Structure formats: C-alpha cells, structure tokens
C-alpha cells in the first residue's frame, strides 16, 4: 500500500488447517478494513459473533458479554466472526497477492542472513528441495509459535510458569446453539479440570476444545478420544450442547489434536533489519480469543515502523521502540486480564488455584498465583505500580468479579458495569481505537502518544508521525 516491495514466504500450500477461529472486532473492522479486505470477508458467510457467553466464576448461570457496549465501536460494527481458518487465511493470502505482494507458497524459511550490525535477508527451501536466498531491508518473522528464526533477534523465550496448559480439541456436527441473538457467540465453560471452548463455525459445525492443566498430559496422549469424551462428561453444559452431535472424523476436521498453549513472551522482539510479530513474538492463553488480534495488531505496528523508516521520516530506533512499547503494553493488558479472569473461579480445587500446588508455596493461593503469573510480561502494569503486585491483582479481580455479579443480576440488560471494570476497559481500548480510526479517519480527532515522547499513527494509519 506504500509502494514497498514485499515477498511473502509461506511453508504450506493453502488452504491449510489452523487453530484460532474466534476473532475480535478490531481485526475485522480495524486491520482488515484498513488493508481493504473487510468487504471480501463480509461476503464469505462466516458466523457473526456478537460477543462471548461464559459459564465461569461463582455464578452457576452463564453470563454474556456483548461487543456493542464498547466505546468507539458503533452498534453496526459491534461483531466479529467465527472463522474456519483455512478459508479466512486463504482470503488474506489472496488479498495480499492482489495488493502486489510476491507470495511464494511451499517456501520454508530455513535461516537468516546477517552481518554484525543487521539482519540482511533469509534463506529458504522450496517444495522441490531447491535452496535460495533473498535479501531484504526488513525481515518480518510471522511464522508462528514454531518459528525457526525468532531467536535471531538475540532473544530468549520466557514461559509463564502458571499458564502452562494443554488443549485437546476436535469438531462436531449438529451441536446445540445458544438462543438468539447470541447463537454466534463463543461459549466458554469452566469446570474442575479446566475450561471448554465451544465455537459455532457454521449453523451445524462446532469447534470444541478442552484446555486442561499439564499434569493431564499422559491421560490425553494415551487415548485422546476417550479423554475428550471423559472431559465432556465432566462439564454439564457442554455435555448438554453436544448430546445429539456427532464428532467429525474425516477431512481437515477429522482428527483430534493436542496443543501445548503455554503463554510466553520474548526478551527481545526486534533488532536492526528484523522484527517478530504474532505468535513468533508472544502468546497468551486463548480464553479471550486474543491471538489473531495480537497477530494482526502487531503486524500493523510493525508495518507502520517499517514504512516510516523506509520513507526516511522516522529513524529506526525510534520507530521500533514505538512498535515494541505498544505491542508489549497490549500483550500485558491481556495477560493481566487473564489473571483476573482465572481468579474469578472460586473453587479452590480447580485448575486455577493449582498455582499453589505447582509452586509448593507456603504462601496464600493468590500470592502463589501472582508469583507465577508475574514477570512474564514486562509491559505489565502490576509490576510498575507502587502497589504490591498481590494487592494490585486482588483489587483488579475483585472489581472484575463484582462487575460480573452485577451483570448477572441485571440479566444482561446493561453492560455498563463490566465496561466500567478497569481491566475490561483497558483490554478493549486499543482495539476500539484502531477501529474508530479506520471508521472515522481524520474525524477521529488528533492522536496523543501513549508514552511520553512517543509517536502517533498518521492520519491514514499506515506510518508513524511525530505529534504536533
Ligand atoms: C488451543 C488454541 C486455541 C486458540 N484459539 C484462538 C481463538 O479462538 N482466537 C484467536 O484469535 N486465537 C486463538 N488462538 C491463537 C492463534 O491460533 C494464534 O495466536 C494465531 O494463529 C497466530 O497467528 P500467526 O500469524 O502469528 O501464526 P500462525 O497462524 O501460526 O501462522 C504462521 C504461518 O507461518 C507459516 N510458517 C511456519 N514456519 C514457516 C517457515 N519456516 N517458513 C515459512 N512459513 C512458515 C505457517 O505455515 C503458517 O501459515 C488459539 C491458540 C491455541 C493454541
């Protein structure tokens, strides 16, 4: 879009299966609108998702969160999609091609080329086994959690001690739907061994996954089919919803899959000539469907930095410092929300309190929990406040828990209490801002930097500017 030459090397031949099916509005109406692919997505017939329905926390009744209440998201744009990633990713790849990107499928990046100062390009192998090299002013590593080159920015990956879960998942035909207007919502259901996602991908196809503690690995890997059925039987709501459903056993959805979804981040996420985005940079537990949002948001931040440096309007250090600070902040917001959310679960035998067992700590459960979650995200506010981290988390989760109680008591007539809860507000803020900028353009008003001395997005959203 800025006239720079882009080559995209993709290891697989699309369409290919991928996990990460529940999207957020900021991806659909923010980044996808900005890049010009939103209308195409609208035509693809994906399930519309108004929000999330949770059976989670002290209250036995499910409660619903709708996007329509978030400031900056107009009612018309207050939905996202549940997507079959094979279709969604194909649409994005084809769009990149149409926009002039030189897309080369079945080209696996094998290494980077560098000198002492910079990364200068990559080497790759194609489907026929031929090796090649490409030099580039910037290498963007978007190759996900199994990236072979992320460490070339000179980083170490830090795993969260607490959020080290396993996901076991498959697909069902004929599962029940939530009553309208929430039938397209993602349903999350906590139970003693962990939690379930239940994502309506089409009127009949449902993606169902259990996220459980890592100690259950041997049970799951032994006989995944038996393990999944036993977990479903443990969770009354999911059992009920799948009563008349049949597990898909053929095609891309035919196998049961297991994924470690450990949360992690990297000590460094860029160096001159190279930047990490999406799962190559960091990953946070999938409960809030934040993976694709963080991937597309970080892509936007990285693109702004690269565009600005290549246009010689901002120097490299300043442009990538902005990228890093905004990205870490957004990751940190979701990470903290995660801690407050898991803390909602009051059953001390549950997965969420296993922190104490994991650390064999003599401290209280909450203190053990904070010890474990703390430190992985350097953008965390909890670690930057005067308050002790335990006090900070305690207050945050209390505010959140009472907002949920109020929501349930209101019978979801008003979403105001939950939006007032600071942890939800901050998780929604950046996405809503990106959406508002795309919808309103210059009418969105002048930007202020999020960090002292920082940059702001240009009016078209594609580069950084120095604030007036
Ligand atoms: C259990 C689970 C459930 C999840 N649920 C959700 C959800 O509901 N919503 C959500 O938003 N997120 C979810 N996520 C997270 C989501 O899957 C990821 O965050 C998201 O897909 C990251 O996108 P990415 O582009 O960084 O990486 P990926 O989607 O992994 O894409 C990386 C691409 O790079 C290619 N590649 C890999 N290696 C190479 C190489 N050497 N050379 C060239 N190409 C290469 C791959 O083929 C792939 O196409 C979930 C994750 C897990 C584990």
CA 23 to ligand 1: nearest atom: 11
CA 169 to ligand 1: nearest atom: 1
**What is the model's pLDDT at position 276?**
98
Residues in the chain: 468
Q: Is the CB of 104 under 6 A from ligand 1?
A: no
Structure-model confidence comparison of residues 192 and 261, the more confident one: 192
**Candidate from 149, 289, 292 with most ligand 1 atoms within 8 A of CB, to mutate:** 292
Q: How far is the CA of 279 from the centre of ligand 1 (A)?
A: 6
CB 165 within 8 A of CB 286: no
Three-state SS string over 259-320 comes to EECCCEEECCCEECCEEECHHHCEECCHHHCCHHHHHHHHHHHHHHHHHHHHCCCCCHHHHH
- The mean-pLDDT minimum among 143-147, 272-276, 398-402 falls in 398-402
Q: Is the CB of 278 under 6 A from ligand 1?
A: yes
- The mean-pLDDT minimum among 104-108, 154-158, 241-245 falls in 154-158
CA 281 to ligand 1: nearest atom: 26
Q: How far is the CA of 83 from the centre of ligand 1 (A)?
A: 13
Q: How far is the CA of 191 from the centre of ligand 1 (A)?
A: 26
Distances from the Cα of 405 to the Cαs of 64, 91, 402, in angstroms?
A: 12, 40, 5
Nearest CA to ligand 1 atom 18: 291
101-106 long-range contacts (CB < 8 A, ≥24 apart) are 101/6, 101/7, 101/8, 102/5, 102/6, 102/7, 102/8, 103/8, 103/10, 104/7, 104/8, 104/9, 104/10, 105/10, 105/12, 105/13, 105/14, 106/10, 106/11, 106/12, 106/13
pLDDT digits (tens, 9 = 90+) for 90-116: 999 999 999 999 999 999 999 999 999
pLDDT digits (tens, 9 = 90+) for 408-457: 776 665 666 666 677 677 767 777 777 777 776 766 777 778 778 899 99
Average pLDDT over residues 284-298: 89
């Amino acid at each position: 879009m800025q006239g720079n030459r882009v080559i995209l090397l993709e290891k697989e031949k699309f369409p290919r299966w991928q996990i990460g099916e529940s999207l957020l509005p900021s991806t659909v109406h923010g980044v996808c609108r900005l890049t010009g692919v939103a209308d195409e997505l609208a035509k693809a017939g994906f399930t519309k998702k108004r929000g999330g329905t949770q059976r989670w926390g002290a209250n036995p009744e499910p409660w619903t969160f709708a996007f329509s209440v978030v400031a900056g998201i107009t009612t018309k744009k207050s939905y996202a999609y549940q997507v079959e990633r094979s279709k969604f990713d194909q649409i994005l790849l084809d769009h990149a091609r149409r926009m002039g990107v030189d897309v080369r499928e079945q080209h696996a990046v094998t290494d980077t080329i560098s000198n002492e100062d910079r990364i200068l390009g990559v080497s790759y192998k194609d489907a026929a086994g031929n090796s090649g090299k490409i030099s580039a002013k910037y290498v963007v590593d978007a190759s996900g959690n199994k990236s072979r080159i992320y460490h070339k920015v000179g980083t170490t990956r830090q795993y969260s001690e607490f959020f080290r879960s396993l996901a076991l998942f498959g697909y069902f035909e004929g599962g029940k739907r939530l009553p309208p207007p929430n039938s397209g919502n993602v349903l999350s259901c906590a139970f003693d061994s962990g939690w379930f996602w239940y994502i309506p991908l089409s009127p009949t196809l449902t993606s169902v996954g259990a996220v459980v503690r890592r100690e259950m690995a041997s049970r799951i890997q032994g006989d995944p089919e038996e393990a999944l059925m036993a977990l479903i039987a443990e969770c009354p709501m999911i059992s009920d919803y799948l009563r008349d459903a049949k597990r898909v056993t053929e095609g891309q959805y035919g196998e049961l899959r297991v994924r470690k979804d450990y949360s992690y981040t990297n000590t460094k996420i860029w160096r001159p000539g190279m930047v990490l985005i999406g799962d190559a940079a960091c990953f946070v537990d999938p409960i809030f469907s934040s993976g694709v949002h963080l991937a597309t948001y970080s892509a936007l931040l990285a693109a702004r930095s690269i565009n600005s440096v290549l246009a010689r309007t901002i120097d490299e250090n300043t442009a990538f410092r902005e990228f890093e600070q905004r990205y870490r902040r957004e990751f940190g917001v979701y990470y903290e929300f995660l801690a407050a959310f898991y803390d909602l679960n009051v059953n001390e035998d549950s997965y969420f309190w296993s922190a104490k067992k994991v650390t064999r700590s003599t401290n209280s459960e909450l203190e053990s929990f904070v010890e474990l979650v703390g430190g992985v995200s350097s953008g965390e506010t909890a670690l930057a406040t005067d308050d002790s981290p335990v006090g900070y988390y305690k207050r945050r989760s209390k505010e959140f828990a009472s907002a949920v109680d109020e929501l349930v008591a209101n019978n979801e007539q008003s979403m105001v209490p939950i939006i007032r809860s600071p942890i939800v507000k901050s998780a929604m803020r950046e996405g809503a801002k990106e959406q508002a900028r795309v919808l309103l353009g210059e009418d969105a008003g002048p930007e202020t930097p999020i960090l002292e001395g920082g940059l702001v997005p240009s009016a078209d959203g594609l580069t950084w500017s120095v604030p007036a």
